[in-house]
Amino acid sequence: MDELKGDCAQCFGLCCVALPFAKSADFAASKDAGTPCRNLLADHRCGIHDRLRQKGYPGCTVYDCFGAGQKVSQTVFRGNDWRTGERQKMFAVFPVVRQLHELLFYLAEARRLDPHDDLVTAYAEVERHTVASPDDILALDVAEIRAKVNVLLLRTSERLRTSAKSYRGADLIGARLRNKNLSNADFRGAYLIGADLTGSDLSRADMIGADLRGAELSGADLSTCLFLTQPQVNAARGDARTKLPASLSRPAHWAATPARRR
């Protein structure tokens, strides 16, 4: 799924220009949509990429375009830089394609885990939208596309999980869930902000849309989680014992040694 991973070298820094952010714990300064970030270099690279957290931009480290940046830059706009091309249209197209690429990520994962023709067809249809003309992309009803895809993803999740245990949309902010057997659970859209999942078994748990900001995953087993993304992992805390899917990377800011018991 390399095409669904961000390739900054093939992008015109779209996430650093098109998207807005407000000064907060996640960003050291505010920026309007369409305005280049103060850290963006002339070659579209980030000047503090290896020091984002230290410089007060942890929000950037938990963002992933799922490959939409290079798709918009190189395919939809055929390599035309926003500095010389249709900047406003490019900035409007980028977040739409980003949503579509996220759906492609989920469909690719579902297809890998539980191959079915309907998933192959859906993937091809969504992918076709991502290479359409800018005007056609802007005319898409993304909510309708997402709803159709969600039916397939939910069906896949239900086929793969052996438990009806559901925490869908649950408020689990700060919950103490240490050393729990949470395998096969449904955490779709659950708020796990700051939750303590140390040592818990999350194998085959459905994690679509789960908010893992600040969640403690030290020693937890997420190796077979369904639909877990890199941004979710980046937003959490973990250590050397945390088990992740082979397709995801261990964040650099995670502890290299096991966390102390509290």
Q: For the chain, first and last CA: distance in Å?
A: 38
Residue 89 confidence (pLDDT): 95
| Residues 94, 76: Cα–Cα separation, whole Å | 10
- pLDDT at position 181, please? 96
CATH 2.160.20.80 assigned to domain 164-262? The reply is: yes
Specify the pLDDT at position 84: 83
Residues of the chain with CATH 2.160.20.80: 164-262
The reported pLDDT for the residue numbered 85 is 73
From first to last of the 262 residues of the chain, give the pLDDT tens digit. Answer: 678 999 999 999 999 999 999 999 999 999 999 999 999 999 999 999 999 999 999 999 999 999 999 999 999 999 999 988 789 999 999 999 999 999 999 999 999 999 999 999 999 999 999 999 999 999 999 999 999 999 999 999 999 998 778 999 999 999 999 999 999 999 999 999 999 999 999 999 999 999 999 999 999 999 999 999 999 999 999 999 999 999 999 998 897 765 555 5
pLDDT score of 162: 85
DSSP string, the chain: -GGGS--GGGS--GGGTTS-B-SSSS-SS-B-TTS--TTB-TTS-BTTGGGTTTTT-HHHHT---TTHHHIIIIIISTT--TTTS-HHHHHHHHHHHHHHHHHHHHHHHHHHHS--HHHHHHHHHHHHHHTS-HHHHHT--HHHHHHHHHHHHHHHHHHH-----B-TT-B-TT-B-TT-B-TT-B-TT-B-TT-B-TT-B-TT-B-TT-B-TT-B-TT-B-TT-BS--HHHHHHSB--TT-B--TTSPPPTTS-SSPPPP-
pLDDT value of position 105: 97
